[in-house]
Structure 1
Amino acid sequence: MKTIRPFGTRGLILILAPALGISVGFASPAFAQAFREVPVIVNPDGKVTDLGTLGGFFSNGYGINDSGQVVGESATTRGERHAFITGPDGMGMTDLGTLGGSFSAAYGINDSGQVVGESATTRGERHAFITGPGGMGMTDLGTLGGSSSSATGINDSGQVVGWYRTTGDFGYHAFIIGPGGMGMTDLGTLGGSSSSASGINDSGQVVGWSYTTGGEGHAFITGPDGMGMTDLGTLGGNFSVASGINDSGQVAGYSATTGGETHAFITGPGGMGMTDLGTLGGSYSYASGINDSGQVVGWSDATGGARHAFITGPDGMGMTYLTSFADLPDRVYDALGINNQGQVIALSVPEPASYALMLAGLGLVSFMARGKKLPGNNQSALS
């Protein structure tokens, strides 16, 4: 199956640049600023922290721990994409480097500051990595025989989850690794050819998605330490994806509905029961993260079709606009993570008025869903 990775703002830049007669590598400062895509931390008190970049014109934040350290990827002054870590409350961005290649991205962080993600190697392969506490030192986690792997989550004991390409590169399987990056174990599938893990809690319960024997992609949960994969079902449609899990085993993600829409969901403790979180008025919503009180974050379209970040109350109650907590000058269109302090990582871009003239007549007026870390993590690839 071909992996489809939807694009965000920087994808629009790459598409638009030839039509506008612009070389992206040498874009003017004004052009770069107009399309600047950066993560922000939105605090419960409404304070907003702009995380900035590593010198380039965009960055993305994917994981946050309870001290507010954020990890993700950023464009550098050399035009490469590198993983980063910040200090507490998002202060100060540090380049984590690579495994020898020109690319790396960080997807998860635990409370001691161990970071996991993926990086290009000197051979041009993509391998999962782990760092020491505080983001110190990048170690290649290897694969189980295939050419690539990616680490997507880590718990406080240092257990790591992700996915790896199987031998022959005909599919990919979810994996779990013991504390400190020791020993990669294949978690199998729900009967189909491929699976991928997206999150792990402190008891070692893993969530993600897998193909079933019937060929559908379904969300799954395992028991402690990755033992036993259980199908979480769907909201009535033909696919679902689990994005995150908290320490009581509540799972957040998204699923096709009986009406053909895609809605965010939350389960009860231990993955029991799937509840539709609805939308902000439109047809689609996607949950990206959950904290231990059951607050869920993600994005949804509104009645007019515009995409907005959302947050819920405890146990997924009451979906509301993230901007209701803060007065933001930019458009906050996605929320990717939330910690137990209620700090949310969100992605912002300038309001459309700042670059509307550049887009006029090109017909590209909205941002597609972001595929950040799961192979096939989108409706087109799973349905």
Structure 2
Amino acid sequence: MPWFRPLVAVLLAVVLPVLAAPAARAADRVPATALPGLSAQDPTRVLDLNDAGQIIGESGSTPVLWRRARVTALPGSFATSINRRGQVVLTDSRIGGGDYVQHPKIWHDGTTTGIAPEGAGIVAAGAINDRGWVPMTYSASPAGWHLERAAVWRDGRVQVLPVGDAGPHLSARVINHYGLVAGAHTPMMGGASFGFRCREGSCDRLPDAPGTSGSYSVSAVNGSGVIVGSRGLVPLRWQGDTVTVLPGGEGRVADNRRAVNERGDVAGWTKDAAGVRRATVWRGGQQVVIPVAGPAEALAVNDNGDVVGRSTASGADRAFLWRNGRVIDLGTLGGAYSTPVALNNTGTIIGLATTADGSYRAVRWQVGPAR
């Protein structure tokens, strides 16, 4: 839509959704439930979940899986993601002989499969789709530290992605159900940053956003191939050969693989006239400011249009859910702090909250599916 559309239309698009959403009432609060650690003394944190309610995270320094009321230790140094089938991406890290080696693997029901490209030293793998495909970036030599090549684990083998002679540093952190991989290149010295996508073994650069500067980052991709991310303080949306600057002025798309849903809603933040961050969702290409006190940001959106985020207006992060035009406070464990990490499509939200003595614990909020 042209940037010079009538000012009245712009104001209505932004203000009406805000006025239509009443502020949270005291009763609009969902209690937090602490997730157990492997021992009562372990600090815990969450990382990802699936629609079955399986959650991955850490207990102490051990990666774990929470499934129903049970916590299970996983064999690796850390975990990064879980898919609908319950497959978990884990990474083994070790230092020896002057080398630092970091290799990913897939764990599923007690069985692990190594997926690192041959000859690579450091491999970064942050996502897995429901087919079990995993995008990766990696060093070109066992002693290398820089992520300069890209690949995808697909159908039991490593497929190298021809991103080109980009050099360090590459990030390929998102993949959709159909295998579209998206990422970004940020050069170490000189050169231009760019976004890229790869499909069926071929790669191309994402269109540059005119009038913007800084490094590109890619946050998320949906099943329709809509890619969202940012360049500097400019939130962006790519579809096909078109790049769109999301309206609202300075801002960013959330750094979260759930920053876009299947309807194309995008979560992030924009700055208001006073320069304060406001939690923002872009729907149908229009900016909607969520009515929570700033500074605030939207962190993730599910396929039902539910949005989770955090506000720091009180001096400490407080988690919220925005659903059907209503803000719902997500409670703590008796402390002042809470922040969400992710949500699924069946009404489970995961995050971090403090107890009355200030201890941080992994938590779950159960809100049920949207009606």
- Report if TM-score (shorter chain) is over 0.5: yes
Which ranges in structure 1 are unaligned for 5 or more consecutive residues?
1-31, 212-216, 356-383
Equivalent of residue 198 in structure 2, options 171, 174, 177: 177
Amino acid across the alignment from 1:277: I
Q: CA deviation at 1:207?
A: 1.1
Q: CA deviation at 1:247?
A: 1.5
Q: CA deviation at 1:61?
A: 6.4
Counterpart Cα distance in 2 of 1:330 and 1:84: 37
Report the RMSD for the aligned CA atoms in angstroms.
4.2
The corresponding residue for 2:146 is: 125
TM-score (norm 2): 0.63
Number of aligned residues:
297
The corresponding residue for 1:320 is: 328
Amino acid across the alignment from 1:267: W
Higher helix share: 1
Q: CA deviation at 1:339?
A: 3.0
Conserved in 1, the CA contact under 8 Å of 2:131 and 2:177? yes
Counterpart Cα distance in 1 of 2:337 and 2:54: 11
The corresponding residue for 2:272 is: 257
The corresponding residue for 1:114 is: 133
Conserved in 1, the CA contact under 8 Å of 2:125 and 2:135? yes
Task: Show the 5 A alignment for 1:311-350.
Answer: 311-314=321-324, 317-323=325-331, 333-347=338-352
Give the 3 Å change call, closer, same or farther, for CA 70–313 of structure 1 in structure 2.
farther
Amino acid across the alignment from 1:107: G
Amino acid across the alignment from 1:38: R
Which is higher, the Rg of structure 1 or of structure 2? 2
Conserved in 2, the CA contact under 8 Å of 1:56 and 1:75? no
Task: Show the 5 A alignment for 1:30-109.
Answer: 36-39=43-46, 49=55, 51-52=57-58, 56=62, 63-67=81-85, 71=89, 83=104, 87=108, 98-99=116-117, 100=119, 103-109=122-128
Conserved in 2, the CA contact under 8 Å of 1:40 and 1:51? yes
Counterpart Cα distance in 1 of 2:161 and 2:310: 32
Amino acid across the alignment from 2:277: T
Which ranges in structure 2 are unaligned for 5 or more consecutive residues?
1-38, 65-76, 361-371
Conserved in 1, the CA contact under 8 Å of 2:186 and 2:216? no
The corresponding residue for 2:170 is: 149
Give the 3 Å change call, closer, same or farther, for CA 153–41 of structure 1 in structure 2.
closer
State the Cα deviation string for residues 30-72 of structure 1 (Å, max 9, x = none). xx99784531667999x88563369558987665544565557
Amino acid across the alignment from 2:231: S
The corresponding residue for 1:266 is: 281
Give the 3 Å change call, closer, same or farther, for CA 285–66 of structure 1 in structure 2.
farther
Amino acid across the alignment from 1:161: A
Conserved in 2, the CA contact under 8 Å of 1:57 and 1:75? no
Counterpart Cα distance in 1 of 2:139 and 2:107: 21
Counting aligned pairs with the same residue, the percent is 25
Conserved in 2, the CA contact under 8 Å of 1:82 and 1:103? yes
Q: CA deviation at 1:341?
A: 2.8
**Residue 227, structure 1, aligned to residue 279, structure 2:** no
Counterpart Cα distance in 1 of 2:56 and 2:81: 15
Give the 3 Å change call, closer, same or farther, for CA 73–38 of structure 1 in structure 2.
farther
Give the 3 Å change call, closer, same or farther, for CA 115–97 of structure 1 in structure 2.
closer
Amino acid across the alignment from 2:128: I
**Residue 276, structure 1, aligned to residue 289, structure 2:** yes
